[in-house]
Structure 1
Amino acid sequence: MCKRFKLLLVALMTLIVLPILPMTACAKSHMPTVAVLKFNINKEALVLYWQRHKVRDQDNRSGLGSDDRVVREHGQLAVVPEEYTAMTNMLTDGLINTLVSSHKFKVLTRDRVNRVINEQRFVESGDVSSDQALKTGKLLGADYLVTGSIQMLEVKTREEKIPYTHEISKQRYGLLMANIQVIDAHSGQIVAAYPVQVSKKQNRVKNHWQQDNKIVTSRDYFLQQLKDKAAKIAANKVLSAVFPLSVIKVAGNSVYINRGVGANFKVGDTLAVFKPGQRLTDEHTDQLLGYAQLLVGKVRIETIEAKFAKATVLSGNPQKMPGAIVKALVKDKNTVLAGGGLENTPGSSASPLQW
Structure 2
Amino acid sequence: MKHTSICLLAIMTSLTAFAAPETVAKKTSIAVTKVVVTKSLENSLKAKGGAESLSRVVESMNSNLSSAFLSTRKFDVLTRTDLDALVAEQQFGESGNVDSKTAPQAGKFKGAQYIVTVAIDDYKDYMRKRNFGTLNKITETRIIRFGAVANLIDATTGSIKESTNFIISNEGRAEEDSRADTSSGDLTDSVIATLTRSMCNNIAFKISDIIYPAKIIGKTGKTIMFNRAADSGVKLGDVYEVFALGEVMIDPDTGETLGSEETLIGTIKVISVLPKFSKGVIVGEDNGIEKGQVLRLKENPKPEKSDTQDEEEL
In structure 1, the partner of 2:199 is 230
Matched, 1:114 2:110: no
Q: 1:305 aligns with which of 262, 270, 274?
A: 274
Residues 24-73 of structure 1 show CA distances to partners (whole Å, capped at 9, x for unaligned) of xx4142x11222111122112443x659xx8x57xxxx334xxxxxxxxx
Contact 1:145 1:183 (C-alpha < 8 Å) held by counterparts: yes
In structure 2, the partner of 1:273 is 242
* Higher mean displacement: 277-286 or 112-121: 277-286
Residues 99-136 of structure 1 show CA distances to partners (whole Å, capped at 9, x for unaligned) of 21112222234433331134356xxxxxxxxxxxx956
- How far did residue 284 of structure 1 move? 7.4
Equivalent residues in 2 for 1:1-355, closer than 5 Å: 15-16=15-16, 20-21=20-21, 23=22, 26-29=23-26, 31-47=27-43, 62-64=50-52, 83-120=53-90, 135=105, 138-158=108-128, 169-201=139-171, 203=174, 208-209=179-180, 218-277=187-246, 289-317=258-286, 320-332=289-301, 334=302, 355=313
In structure 2, what residue type is equivalent to 1:63?
Answer: A
In structure 1, what residue type is equivalent to 2:24?
Answer: A
- How far did residue 323 of structure 1 move? 2.2
Partner of 2:170: helix, strand, or coil?
Answer: strand
Higher RCO (CA-CA < 8 Å; seq separation 6+):
2
Partner Cα distance (1:136, 1:105) in 2: 22
| RMSD between superposed Cα atoms in Å | 4.2
* Higher mean displacement: 111-120 or 227-236: 111-120
In structure 2, what residue type is equivalent to 1:235?
Answer: A
Contact 2:227 2:278 (C-alpha < 8 Å) held by counterparts: yes
Partner of 2:202: helix, strand, or coil?
Answer: helix
Partner of 1:27: helix, strand, or coil?
Answer: coil
- How far did residue 168 of structure 1 move? 6.3
- How far did residue 287 of structure 1 move? 6.1
- How far did residue 252 of structure 1 move? 4.1
In structure 2, what residue type is equivalent to 1:151?
Answer: D
TM-score w.r.t. structure 1 length?
0.64
Task: Call closer, same or farther: CA 1:291–1:14 in 2, change over 3 Å.
Answer: closer
* Higher mean displacement: 313-322 or 184-193: 313-322
- How far did residue 242 of structure 1 move? 0.8
Partner Cα distance (1:300, 1:314) in 2: 7
Contact 1:198 1:345 (C-alpha < 8 Å) held by counterparts: no
In structure 1, what residue type is equivalent to 2:51?
Answer: G
Task: Call closer, same or farther: CA 1:149–1:16 in 2, change over 3 Å.
Answer: same
- How far did residue 161 of structure 1 move? 8.4
Partner Cα distance (2:294, 2:168) in 1: 26
- How far did residue 264 of structure 1 move? 4.5
Partner Cα distance (2:127, 2:188) in 1: 11
The size of the alignment, in residue pairs, is 284
Task: Call closer, same or farther: CA 1:330–1:35 in 2, change over 3 Å.
Answer: closer
Task: Call closer, same or farther: CA 1:279–1:17 in 2, change over 3 Å.
Answer: closer
In structure 2, what residue type is equivalent to 1:87?
Answer: V
In structure 2, what residue type is equivalent to 1:182?
Answer: L
TM-score w.r.t. structure 2 length?
0.71
Task: Call closer, same or farther: CA 1:258–1:118 in 2, change over 3 Å.
Answer: farther
Task: Call closer, same or farther: CA 1:111–1:246 in 2, change over 3 Å.
Answer: same
Partner of 2:24: helix, strand, or coil?
Answer: helix
Contact 2:45 2:51 (C-alpha < 8 Å) held by counterparts: no
Structure 1 gaps, min length 5 = 1-7, 65-82, 122-133, 211-215, 336-343, 347-352
Task: Call closer, same or farther: CA 1:223–1:117 in 2, change over 3 Å.
Answer: farther
Partner Cα distance (1:93, 1:310) in 2: 33
Partner Cα distance (2:256, 2:136) in 1: 66
* Higher mean displacement: 275-284 or 217-226: 275-284
